[in-house]
Amino acid sequence: MDIAPESIKDLFSGGGGTLGERMGLQITEASPERIVGTMPVEGNTQPYGLLHGGASCVLAETLGSVGAVLHGQTVDRPFAVGVDINATHHKGARSGVVTGVATPVHRGRTMATYEVVITDDAGERVCTARITCLLRGA
């Protein structure tokens, strides 16, 4: 079963969902092999003015889930549900935009795992995350 083209388009518009939309997340590239998205630091900070770790996880989960959905279509399991996420925060970001790039670690029939590298405007790594999604059929 394929997801209707308008549903796939909905994944990309508004940052992949209501939370992504509120956080200013934009998906700029998407295929099962590589998903890229951006998110502003402003409005997504913790009390010390740094990018909130949870915001990095939202970016990572969104990008990895989109990749899992796109892969899931190829194995007749087009619905992805996140079952695990972990993140290592390497450096704080105080301003600008962060960019996440998700690439597959494993793409199977029932599970997909993506690594997401998040960098700041200078190209320095802010966070490395890994998300695993369960793939479900219709």
The residues assigned a catalytic role are: 61
Amino acid identity, position 41: V
User: Buried b vs exposed e over 91-115: b needs ≥16 C-beta within 10 Å?
Assistant: eebeeeebbbbbebeebeeebbbbb
Q: Which residues contact 75 (CB under 8 A, 6 or more apart)?
A: 108, 109, 135
CA 1 distance to own-chain centroid: 23
- DSSP annotation of 108 reads -
